[in-house]
Amino acid sequence: MKLKGFIYAIISAVFFGSAGIFVKSGYSAAFSPVDLLMLQYMIAGVILFIMCFIKYKDKLVLSKIQLKRLIIQGAFGNTLMTVFFYQSFKYLDVALTTMLLFTYPSMVALASFFIFKEKISRTKIISILGTFLGCILVLDITAKGSNISYIGVGFALLSAVFYCFMNIYAEKIVEDLPGLVITFYTTIFSLIVLFIFNFNFINKLMYVSASSFTNAALLAFFCEIIPLTFLYEAIKRIGSVSTSITTSLELPASAIIAFIFLKEKLSFVQIIGIIIVVYCVAKLRKEG
């Protein structure tokens, strides 16, 4: 049960990590990151409904409590997390944005400890600090000479805050519903909220470029349906703190994939960072 949870968290991390590439190439001056996000949600909503109708038809009818919780998770948590995350790409490169997002495991642990009075073991504290240090080394930002925008940093950190909220609040939902159904409803509720504040998006639909549509479709499947569904399944099995720490594997996984398939070089510092993150996650898994 717990091993599956860690596997699901790793799958979620690897797929979610590819989002920046598609976001960067999917928006333009006439088609904003929020427009791209809405197109992504429309495509994902259709795919998710078909999948849920085939596999979980009886779970699509919600109780009042489930509906309320999913509205909060989707309209509040998921919407603000993704909007701030996508906006941050306008000001920061993919590496720095991703690193700032991955401050959220420490936020999850602190919120669990101070707000919900959950005990946090020494192993989890060390894992949080270790994975964060490892992520910084993997990105090797200093060597890349990143241009830092404080507005972008603010958006990325706000995204981390709401991603933290999503992880913790999901524990109220995952016991009752499959991850696929949760992803469907949070996507729909997020789309509804975005339509309210960006209704002019309808006028842009007929002018969507092939590139933007392709990137939105790829984001829908590989960076939303798969990672969010597996994220909720992981939280169901190992809890929000362990899940959030494990998903830090996204960064070393992305670096290794780039090294193998894109022939990008890995520096000594990055290799050390990868080893630290993998070690910390393995240590956490042994505790579980």
- Per domain, the residue ranges of the chain are 2-287
For residue 230, pLDDT beyond 90:
yes
* More confident call, 79 vs 123: 79
Taking residues 35-60, report their average pLDDT: 94
Taking residues 271-287, report their average pLDDT: 79
pTM for the structure as a whole:
0.82
DSSP state of 199: T
Q: What pLDDT is recorded for position 18?
A: 65
CA distance linking residue 54 with residue 39, whole number of Å: 23
Q: Which residues 6+ apart lie within 8 Å of 154 measured at CB? A: none
Q: Which two tokens stand for residue 105?
A: 């495991």
Q: Which two tokens stand for residue 65?
A: 């409590």
For residue 190, pLDDT beyond 90:
yes
Residue 269 Cα to chain centre, angstroms: 25
User: Where does the pLDDT of residue 262 fall: very low under 50, low under 70, confident under 90, or very high at 90 and above?
Assistant: low
Q: Which two tokens stand for residue 18?
A: 């590819």
Out of 4-18, 153-167, 244-258, 272-286, the most confident range is: 153-167
Q: What pLDDT is recorded for position 174?
A: 92
Contact 256, 215 (CB under 8 A): no
Residue type (1 letter), 146:
S
Contact 272, 136 (CB under 8 A): no
